[in-house]
Amino acid sequence: MKQLFYLCCMLLLPVMLSAQGDLSVITTNNPDSVNFSDLSFLKHVLKDVQVVSLGEQSHGDGATFDAKVRLIKYLHEELGYNVIAFESGLYDCTKANELIQAGGSAEEYLFKAIFGIWDCKEVGKLATYINETKKSSSPLLLSGFDCQVGGRIAKKDFIADVNQFVKELERKTGKQLFTDTVSVNEALRKAVKFSNFFTKLSSADTAILSATFAHIFEAADNAGLSDATTQYWTRVLNSLMVDYRRKFEKNSIRDITMSENVLWLLKEKYKGQKIILWAASAHLAYNVSLVDDKYLSNHTTMGDKLKHKLGNEYYSMLFTSYHGKSKAGIINLKVDRPAVNGIEQFFYAARKPFLFGDLREKSAGGLCDHDGNTKVFGHKPLKMKLCEMADGIFYIENMYPATY
């Protein structure tokens, strides 16, 4: 039966690949490749798209990281996407961008802002590119959208920057907002320290932060302050409040907040700009109730909210692979093989190392007619209705681990 399945795939894929609107062959994932002719199909695919999101099966996928850096270069240079926003702290990445654009090195500040899972050689090429573009008339700007504040920048500067904002707000409103500065700062220190851990803040710490933030929000609102700085800090502090509260609640509050942060970036901070998102596929897909998985099927994702708000202006690009290895901590783990009826089998039969399927084109090489089983989440073969959950899929035959 397996032999018959593979024979059918081998016979049908060349026909599929030749059909207009089906699968597109990508020649390389090498981010140093300056010939983008193989990516030119994206001009049509991403027409009128304001937010394109680039997923990853796991956070240790070196081949995917390389492919994403190359895609980012193309999207920036050819399609005018000028903001790259990571699944990392809104505060951390905003601070890093300010330091980079002021003359600092992206090789230093990018990795002080984003989560350590991306502190690798592959993402280092993105840092180099950000450095190169900042000298141009159209720099690639860095942002984050996560409610967490886990970067080294936050550990060093967050408390001082919050205090500076509050002092300026007190001057504008004539109100004292920090009634117990020592206790507030100690609670902030713990919130930052434990942001990426399961450790919960004490009830005393959550109480003083919640009360203090409420005073700040009320004072800014009553004074009618809507300047960019006040908007930004209101969003940062609200995100921090969500971060420590999410450890007490088993719901989708983090994804919902991330979607709100992305929409704020799109509608306010970077109004008129197009944005690229870098995150795990589990945050970027939508309609994940269509996955045969207990955790995912009960989860509201950032992608759900963005798709609802933006419609076809949001494009979710997921990644998958056939075989290879991925990094998990210090270990190189062999990734799972696809299911016998997995979508990856159709890609593999084409004998091309890289392929792309635009899932909005419902022919899509037959992908949308297939009873979908794919490895887009955690390299684990799962049954799902992929074409109702994402807009595009980037196939990599051989996954290799990130280099740390």
195 shares its domain with 322: no
Query: What whole-number distance in Å separates Cα of residue 135 and Cα of residue 137?
Result: 7
82 shares its domain with 52: yes
pLDDT of residue 371: 60
156 shares its domain with 117: no
pLDDT of residue 294: 87
The residue range of the domain holding 233 is 152-245
Whether 257 is in a domain gets the answer: no
pTM of the complete model beyond 0.75: yes
Whether 336 is in a domain gets the answer: yes
pLDDT of residue 331: 95
Determine which helix (DSSP H) or strand (DSSP E) holds 15, and give its type and residue range: helix 2-18
Rg of the chain over CA atoms, in angstroms?
22
Maximum separation of any 2 CA atoms in the chain, in Å: 78
68 shares its domain with 207: no
222 shares its domain with 341: no
pLDDT of residue 150: 81
Query: What whole-number distance in Å separates Cα of residue 246 and Cα of residue 394?
Result: 32
Whether 269 is in a domain gets the answer: no
Determine which helix (DSSP H) or strand (DSSP E) holds 243, and give its type and residue range: helix 228-245
Name 61's bridge partners. 401
- 400 contact partners, CB below 8 Å, separation of at least 6: 62, 63, 324, 325
139 shares its domain with 159: no
63 shares its domain with 46: yes
Query: What whole-number distance in Å separates Cα of residue 256 and Cα of residue 249?
Result: 13
pLDDT of residue 88: 98
Please give the tally of structural domains in the chain: 2
Name 399's bridge partners. 324
Whether 98 is in a domain gets the answer: yes
Whether 270 is in a domain gets the answer: no
59 shares its domain with 164: no
What does the pLDDT profile of the chain (404 residues) look like in tens digits? 445 444 454 444 444 444 434 799 999 999 999 899 999 999 999 999 999 999 999 999 999 999 999 999 999 999 999 999 999 999 999 999 999 999 999 999 999 999 999 999 999 999 999 999 998 999 999 999 999 998 999 999 999 999 999 999 999 999 999 989 999 999 999 999 999 888 899 999 999 999 999 999 999 999 999 999 999 999 999 999 999 988 777 779 999 999 999 999 999 999 999 999 999 999 999 999 999 998 888 899 999 999 999 999 999 999 999 999 999 999 999 999 999 989 999 999 999 999 999 999 866 556 776 668 999 999 999 999 999 999 999 999 999 999 99
Query: What whole-number distance in Å separates Cα of residue 69 and Cα of residue 82?
Result: 14
Provide the CATH number for the domain around residue 91: 3.40.1660.10
135 shares its domain with 158: no
7 shares its domain with 135: yes
- 9 contact partners, CB below 8 Å, separation of at least 6: 345, 346, 348, 349
DSSP 49: -
Q: How far is CA 380 from CA 197, 218, 321, 331, 338, in A?
A: 25, 47, 11, 18, 8
Q: Which of 359, 345, 361 is nearest to 387 (CA)?
A: 359
pLDDT of residue 46: 98
